[in-house]
Structure 1
Amino acid sequence: MTTVDTTAPLAVARRYFDALSAKDFATVAAMFADDIVWHQPGDNRFSGTHRGSAAVGEMIGGMMAVSEGTFALSATAAPMVNGTVVAALVHFSGKRDDAAMAQDGLDLLRIEGDRIAEVWLFSSDPRSEDAFWGAA
């Protein structure tokens, strides 16, 4: 039976969430595999599957622009690992003009080596998130 060392994926996930919480987007971007696949939920301008670190960086930059730099995300509990997949409960929020969003979610990361290879996001209130980000 082959076992996977789960300390490496956890360390990568913790570094990622620490960088996100600090809004250190240079570190965040450096953690993405060049061919990352990002599954953004909902039915809004950022929803869908984004492929490649440039596309994911563009999406995150767009979220920061729409939220006037207020978008924030932090892990709310210790990340959980199963092999190379890490799940983390998160809280995220943002404000723009007269709109605000704050909710919980779950981020699922697939780690390859020291890079994030694939991400699936889940929101506790998808309608509210869609309304905040705006139509596709």
Structure 2
Amino acid sequence: MTESVNTAEVARQYYEAMSAGDIPTAAGLFADDITWHQPGGNRFSGIRSSAAAVGEMIGGQMSVSEGTFKLEFTGGPMVNGDLAAFAVHFSGEREGASMSMEGIDILRVEGGKIAEMWLFSADQRAEDAFWGQA
């Protein structure tokens, strides 16, 4: 299997799992030492440096959004070697607030696992307002 084919397959598996709300399967694709770049200035922003830390962050997002956080891929994967980019739509609701916007996610695959992830939001201010501060 070529590097690009492997990257596309891992990326596809990740987004199929996330779109189905199957967080355990998605998390099983993370390298133990994944580096996750979460944008913005909200309670979940920053860099996570392990699969456990990313899992904790996603769990926090599900808690804050009262289980409504949803990620759907709307295009891709667009693959360049060990990188894959996806157009995504993400949404969530919580008491008194809702969020629904487009984004781009870029992941890097190494050894059949997601080694690094970068997320981009179409409206970072609105996303920050939705998640709020800790």
**Which category describes the TM-score, using the shorter chain as reference length?**
over 0.9
Q: Give unpaired runs (5+ residues) of structure 1.
A: none
SS at the partner of 1:33? strand
Does the 8 Å CA contact 1:9/1:113 hold for their aligned counterparts?
Answer: no
Hey, what does 2:37 align to over in structure 1? 39
How many residue pairs end up in the alignment?
Answer: 133
* Percent identical: 59
CA distance in 2, matches of 1:134, 1:16: 27
* Offset at residue 113 of structure 1 (A): 2.2
Deviation track 1:27-57 (CA, whole Å, cap 9, x = no partner) reads 0111000000000000000000011000000
CA distance in 2, matches of 1:51, 1:13: 19
Does the 8 Å CA contact 2:43/2:132 hold for their aligned counterparts?
Answer: yes
- Structure 1 runs of 4+ with >2 Å offset: none
SS at the partner of 2:41? coil
Out of 15, 21, 24, the residue aligned to residue 23 of structure 1 is 21
Out of 120, 123, 130, the residue aligned to residue 122 of structure 1 is 120
The code of the aligned residue for 1:60 comes to I
TM-score, length basis structure 2? 0.97
Q: Give unpaired runs (5+ residues) of structure 2.
A: none
Does the 8 Å CA contact 2:70/2:92 hold for their aligned counterparts?
Answer: yes
CA distance in 2, matches of 1:78, 1:38: 20
CA distance in 2, matches of 1:110, 1:57: 18
Provide the aligned C-alpha RMSD in A: 0.9
TM-score, length basis structure 1? 0.95
CA distance in 2, matches of 1:108, 1:5: 16
